[in-house]
Chains A and B, each alone.
Chain A
Amino acid sequence: MDDFLLRALIGGMGVAVLSGPLGSFIVWRRMAYFGDSLAHSGLMGVALGLLLGLDAGLGVLIVCVVLALVLVLLQRQRQLATDTLLGILSHTTLSLGLVALAFIETVRVDLVSYLFGDILSITTTEVYWIWGGGLLVLALMVWLWRPLLALTVHEDMARVEGVPVFWVRLGFMLLIAVVIALAMKIVGILLITSLLIIPAAAARRFARNPEEMALLASGLGCCAVALGLWGSVQWDTPSGPSVVVAAAALFMLSLAWPGASRPR
């Protein structure tokens, strides 16, 4: 196997493993739109990185973290519904990113690779980043698991029972921001949410408890990455979208799979 393919496979699977538990919570907490908005702001991060001479990934991380904090604070007001707020922020930051990139004339930016991912050009350093950062995210996720599950089921009940709801929710949002920064190279900012939620949705029918669903989602995500890469090489299709198409195919298959417990 070629080196670049192996790197792509290992990096992609690193992101897929992360996506399992985080994506499951995004599905349970109905935060798909939140993930999308955060991801869209990533382009502003790319622009910021180029302006300040930072790594694009670091720029994305900074912008995503700041936006997550802003959203947590804005959700405390009741003037605008959260989805309206997210819609405004999502497309404003995406457009701001595009506008800012147009101003940077000195660098020619390959916009398509940021929007849809460029997994085949992934470097060894980036693979280290994905696995290093990924293990940290996973460790934090294990730590947050029980309180996060409690507040997902019923926030007020969790609060009365002593769960520090605000901090746990903030922690989870920051973890999503980190995952978006790590995953941008694989599927691009427009497709990141799909890698988070499609494997989790596909795992639902086969899982009997939350942990099973998260593990299965990780496994299905890895399958999607492998299948997508293979298809991408086989038919010379863009790699990021190929991975998403593979994930969607697995999801359709899960719906048609006989004998799985019916969703109640």
Chain B
Amino acid sequence: MSRELLLAVDQVNLTLGRHQVLQDVSLQLKPSEVLTLIGLNGSGKTTLLRVILGLLLPDSGQVRLRPGTRIGYMPQKLPVEETLPLSVARFLTLSQRAPRERLRQVLAETGGAAVLDSPLAALSGGELQRVLLAKALLREPELLVLDEPVQSVDVAGQFELYDLLGRIRQRRGCAILMVSHDLHLVMPTTDWVICMNQHICCAGPPELVSQHPAYRQLFGVDRGRVAVYRHHHDHKHDAHGHIIEPEVRP
């Protein structure tokens, strides 16, 4: 594996039950690059993440990480067990200790500083996402792996979160590998896009993928199956859905 690579996935195949979930999947990621996997439900995106994280073993093929790479992982969902009394601060330090000041810093970075002492079970969807992201950042990761980071956040909040991810990459220089179901949302943040449907349909910079016939066919762009409703958004929301600042109109 070349020195410049952080991650190399080579010809990975995986069958779960009778379904071939991954078919000859290969990809490469360099330090501080952002790569987004898109695809419909059941296209193997999350499974590929799990293989890369070492949570699933592929039937054939290889996953190689640069030795010693620190990974920060943000799962798709966190089912919060209501019988377990756990504050955000305790949650953040579950598998690694850190001084309070450091917890405050990392939460401030993701915009969740206010919830440091809240019970985990009392958080809203948007707040929980920011806490999960903070937990991943606490490990000073060289590779951030995010599984559908914007689930349970409304559309304006999704823009906010992707914007935040872009800033985190700029500031920390970590690579980001994430799963998304919406190419247009991630377009400003990501360097590379891989469009999946068990195998890799097409890959490249987001602008190219959005024009690629395989992408357009898979997502039914040209058949009008997806009606994109566009409106001019004249204000921004934070993770709580509050309006932050009105944009100045010309």
A interface residues with partner B (beta carbon < 8 Å): 27-28, 30, 78, 146-147, 149-150, 152-154, 156-163, 201, 204, 207-210, 212-213, 263-264
Q: Which of B35-43, B70-78, B211-219 contacts A (4 or more CB under 8 A)?
A: B70-78
| CB-based contact B84/A210 at 8 Å | yes
| CB-based contact B87/A209 at 8 Å | yes
* 16 sampled A-B residue pairs with Cβ under 8 A: A27-B83, A30-B81, A146-B94, A150-B94, A152-B84, A153-B81, A153-B84, A154-B78, A159-B55, A160-B73, A161-B95, A204-B83, A209-B85, A210-B85, A212-B85, A263-B83
Out of A154, A160, A263, name the residue touching B71 (CB < 8 Å): A160
Out of B54, B121, B145, name the residue touching A264 (CB < 8 Å): B121
- Grouping DSSP codes into helix (H, G, I), strand (E, B) and loop, the B interface class, with mixed when no group exceeds half, is loop
- Judged by a CB distance under 8 angstroms, whether B4 is at the interface is no
| CB-based contact B53/A160 at 8 Å | yes
Q: How far is the CB of B62 from chain A (nearest CB, A)?
A: 19
- Judged by a CB distance under 8 angstroms, whether B27 is at the interface is no
Q: How far is the CB of B146 from chain A (nearest CB, A)?
A: 12
| CB-based contact A209/B90 at 8 Å | yes
- Which residues of chain B in 63-113 are interfacial with respect to chain A, using CB atoms and an 8 Å cutoff? 71, 73, 75, 78, 81-87, 90-91, 94-96
- Grouping DSSP codes into helix (H, G, I), strand (E, B) and loop, the A interface class, with mixed when no group exceeds half, is helix
| CB-based contact A209/B73 at 8 Å | no
| CB-based contact B83/A154 at 8 Å | no
- Judged by a CB distance under 8 angstroms, whether B208 is at the interface is no
Residues of A within 8 A of B135 (CB): 157
| CB-based contact A153/B94 at 8 Å | yes
- Which residues of chain B in 118-139 are interfacial with respect to chain A, using CB atoms and an 8 Å cutoff? 119, 121-122, 135, 139
A150-B95, A160-B53, A161-B96 known; A204-B85 Cβ under 8 A: yes
A146-B94, A147-B95, A156-B53 known; A213-B75 Cβ under 8 A: no
Out of A161, A201, A208, name the residue touching B83 (CB < 8 Å): A201
Interface centre among B78, B95, B119 (most CB of A within 10 A): B95
- A212 to B, closest residue via Cβ: B85
